[in-house]
């Protein structure tokens, strides 16, 4: 079930809504909705969501990771879940308040950079070293096609765990993340 940015803004003003942001700490530090709790997709805590009073709205950049998080949480027995349609981008487009930090290279752009470099490397290695390396380009192309068809990207999930996608000022230990303020 989805909720629009305007609906969420109205519901937050009227009652108890828990906001769970499932993006990487780096993305969260760049921009997030005030009052949202950082719980990266790979560190979801169903017990915290279950313990919340009222509804839980799951947030990501555009809504795709939030939908994955909702599936995981529902499988763990969580109820009263909704996804912010269009994610933080839609919230910002509506002119609703956000907390901003330093600009970063988004996860989507990182996937494009890495995939492009792998295709070029596979092509060059296949041309100058051994034709077997063309398989790398084929593998990456198939992965991109699969991600486009299924809305699931393994490379994005791996890159989300990379050290540069973690952020100073955000402490993550085990499944828990907290934002430190200066």
Active-site residue, selected from the candidate residues 60, 78, 153, 177: 60
Q: How far apart are CA 128 and CA 86, in angstroms?
A: 44
56 is catalytic: no
Question: Which residues form the catalytic set?
Answer: 60
């Amino acid at each position: 079930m989805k909720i629009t940015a305007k609906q969420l803004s109205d519901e937050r003003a009227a009652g108890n809504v828990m906001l769970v942001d499932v993006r990487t700490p780096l993305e969260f530090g760049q921009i997030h909705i005030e009052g949202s709790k950082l719980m990266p997709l790979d560190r979801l805590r169903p017990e915290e969501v279950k313990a919340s009073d009222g509804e839980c709205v799951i947030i990501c950049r555009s809504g795709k990771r939030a939908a994955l998080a909702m599936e995981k949480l529902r499988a763990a027995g969580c109820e009263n879940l909704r996804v912010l349609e269009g994610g933080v981008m839609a919230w910002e487009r509506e002119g609703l308040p956000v907390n901003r930090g330093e600009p970063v290279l988004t996860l989507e752009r990182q996937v494009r950079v890495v995939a492009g470099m792998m295709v070029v490397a596979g092509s060059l290695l296949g041309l100058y070293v051994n034709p077997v390396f063309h398989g790398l380009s084929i593998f990456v192309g198939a992965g991109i096609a699969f991600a486009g068809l299924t809305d699931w990207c393994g490379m994005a999930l791996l890159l989300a765990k990379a050290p540069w996608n973690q952020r100073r000022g955000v402490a993550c230990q085990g499944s828990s993340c907290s934002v430190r303020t200066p």
